[in-house]
Structure 1
Amino acid sequence: MINYNGTIFPASTNLLYNNRAFLYGDGVFETVKIINNRILFLEDHYFRLMSSMRILRMEIPMNFTMEYFEEQIKLVVNTNNYSDAVRARITVYRNPGGYYLPETNTISFLIHSLPIENKFYSINSNEYEVDLYKDIYVSKQLLSTLKTTNKVINITASIYAKENDLQNCLLLNEDKNVVEAVQGNVFMLMDNKLITPPISEGCLNGIMRKQILAIVKKMDNIEVVEEAISPFDLQKANELFITNVIKGIQPITKYRKKEYKTAFSQKALNLLNDFIVA
């Protein structure tokens, strides 16, 4: 028997009581965008998920191929009768048993999906103000680069942003360098140089981050570098923007007293849309 919100139930009525993702954060996830029944960046999502599972010593089933991954996501989307634009999340977690030491490394997965408004990426022209979140720091280590089910820093930073009438927060590592935003990787344009923190700084190994790096490297007169960004650098930047698979590119319009342009962000987003329809 278990106590759920003050009422006693048989344990079998609550799927969370022995779910290791719930109990210990023992899980990883991928969020994908689907347009016209096509999963964007499918191969990148699949291989990142496989890499994350291996790092966490999860046993990957023999049938968990990229084709199976795609099939299972589309099964949920099509069953829900979603069509044009959809976001879907697959969460993979270790099966029940044990405490910190698991009794098994076999896995289960859960997939859910929701319709989204825009088929293609677009830029919202509303003000988008950010500030630094300094209560908790991101560690410069391998686990920080994975999409695990432990995202407490992102949650508390989101609450901080709401409490302070901000649209987002920038997370820092223990060296006090800018790592990423709450919902994605961060890029900074300084003259003709586009800068984003390297994975070694503790930022998420983002799928959209990879696409933007590849797209911008093909642009004329733009140097693309991966190097640490200090909070002082933000004040000197021409543009700042955030990337993730669902939104694409989100320009930052204000950081403290500094206001930013968005022309480069729009140009990069246009190239991104051209890329996904090619």
Structure 2
Amino acid sequence: MINFNGSIVDYAQVQLENNRGLLYGDAVFETVKVVEGRILFSEDHYFRLMASMRVVRMEIPMNFTLEYFEAQIVDLVATNGHSNAARARITVYRNDGGRYLPCENNVSFLVTSEGLPDILYRIENQTYEVDLFRDFYMTKQLLSSIKSTNRLLNVTASIYARENGLQNCLLLNDEKNVVEAINGNVFMLTNGKLLTPPVSEGCINGVMRRQILALSKNIEGIEVEESVISPFDLQKADEIFITNIIMGIQPVTQYRKKQFESELSEKLLQKLNAEVRLG
């Protein structure tokens, strides 16, 4: 079952023939983790979705409050029987009509959900090799920092990773600096300094990125900085890890011939799980 504009219905009841999200990528979305009936970091997700809708000039319905946002997701997760943990996605798209120029800016939304095996975060892959994806580049602009349904670069990079036996790829912007991974933000530890690219470089303003920045600032001996990362910098790193709201933290074990530790990654994972337990 899915949630379509506040009603829980079967997939077959949703008309997609003229859907602008499908035809033009005219949609934004949020992916959330739901644990025992609550959305982790719900306010961060909600306000990021509202900001994304404003950037692309969608009309935000008057009833689309934080409480409404939470209820639409949590109710569907319960209906689908995911009582433990679930991955849910809300996609907001401009209503049918027009071609590139829409007839109106009012919106509809869909919520989908699937069960997850674990409430707490854990490191899924003990071997995790990455490399750079150089076929296409991200642009340093505001649209790159929001979660729209135009993800062709990420899809193509995922196929490239599979074809080359990699677990992930690091994406570059048009100045050839590291922006993010295919499915999350990237962090690099070098000599006690934890770096992550600023949003101005074109990366997604990740909800988990925000949590990791906050948690890292409370670890003694770690200096935290949002800073430009070049491909050359990766070779000097002690640790590299990738973050998103579903997997939490995934340490990179190898980039080209360089292998990495995961001490900070594991420490941050413990702190993150403590936050999840506290709710």
TM-score higher than 0.5 here? yes
After superposition, the C-alpha distances for 1:148-207 in whole angstroms (9 at most, x for unaligned) are 000000000000000000000000001100000000000000011000000000000100
Alignment match, 1:3 = none
Q: Once the 2 structures are TM-superposed, how far is the Cα of residue 82 of structure 1 from its aligned partner?
A: 1.0
Alignment match, 2:48 = 48
Letter in 1 for 2:161: A
Alignment match, 1:151 = 151
Q: How does 1:83-94 map to 2 (within 5 A)?
A: 83-94=83-94
Alignment match, 2:76 = 76
CA distance in 2, matches of 1:103, 1:227: 41
- TM-score relative to the length of structure 2: 0.94
- Specify every segment of 5 or more residues in structure 2 that has no aligned partner in the other structure, as ranges: 1-11
Which moves more between the two structures, 38-47 or 15-24? 15-24
Task: Check the 8 A contact 2:241/2:252 in 1, yes or no.
Answer: yes
Which moves more between the two structures, 116-125 or 222-231? 116-125
Q: Once the 2 structures are TM-superposed, how far is the Cα of residue 15 of structure 1 from its aligned partner?
A: 2.3
CA distance in 1, matches of 2:153, 2:91: 19
CA distance in 1, matches of 2:106, 2:14: 21
- TM-score relative to the length of structure 1: 0.94
Q: Once the 2 structures are TM-superposed, how far is the Cα of residue 81 of structure 1 from its aligned partner?
A: 1.2
Alignment match, 1:38 = 38
- SS at 1:160's partner residue? helix
Between the two proteins, the alignment pairs up a number of residues equal to 267
- SS at 1:60's partner residue? coil
- SS at 2:16's partner residue? coil
Alignment match, 2:258 = 258
- SS at 1:102's partner residue? coil
Q: Once the 2 structures are TM-superposed, how far is the Cα of residue 218 of structure 1 from its aligned partner?
A: 1.1
CA distance in 2, matches of 1:182, 1:165: 15
Change (3 A) 1:58 1:85: same
CA distance in 2, matches of 1:82, 1:178: 37
Task: Check the 8 A contact 2:171/2:179 in 1, yes or no.
Answer: yes
After superposition, the C-alpha distances for 1:208-229 in whole angstroms (9 at most, x for unaligned) are 0000000101111110000100
Letter in 2 for 1:236: K
CA distance in 2, matches of 1:59, 1:102: 12
Task: Check the 8 A contact 2:161/2:167 in 1, yes or no.
Answer: yes
After superposition, the C-alpha distances for 1:244-278 in whole angstroms (9 at most, x for unaligned) are 00000000000000000011100011011112222
CA distance in 1, matches of 2:34, 2:101: 36
Q: How does 1:1-278 map to 2 (within 5 A)?
A: 15-278=15-278
- SS at 2:271's partner residue? helix
- SS at 1:64's partner residue? coil
CA distance in 1, matches of 2:193, 2:111: 39
Alignment match, 2:8 = none
Letter in 2 for 1:165: G
CA distance in 2, matches of 1:82, 1:35: 9
Change (3 A) 1:86 1:14: closer
After superposition, the C-alpha distances for 1:82-130 in whole angstroms (9 at most, x for unaligned) are 1111000000000001111100100000000000111100113521000
- SS at 1:54's partner residue? helix
- Specify every segment of 5 or more residues in structure 1 that has no aligned partner in the other structure, as ranges: 1-11
Q: Once the 2 structures are TM-superposed, how far is the Cα of residue 17 of structure 1 from its aligned partner?
A: 2.0
- SS at 1:74's partner residue? helix
CA distance in 2, matches of 1:118, 1:265: 19
Change (3 A) 1:170 1:107: same
CA distance in 1, matches of 2:182, 2:251: 14
CA distance in 2, matches of 1:16, 1:105: 18
CA distance in 1, matches of 2:258, 2:249: 20
Letter in 1 for 2:179: V
Q: Once the 2 structures are TM-superposed, how far is the Cα of residue 67 of structure 1 from its aligned partner?
A: 0.3
- SS at 2:211's partner residue? helix
Letter in 2 for 1:139: T
Letter in 2 for 1:218: N
Letter in 1 for 2:130: V
Structure 1 segments, 4+ long, off by >3 Å, are: none
Q: Once the 2 structures are TM-superposed, how far is the Cα of residue 133 of structure 1 from its aligned partner?
A: 0.2
CA distance in 1, matches of 2:155, 2:98: 27
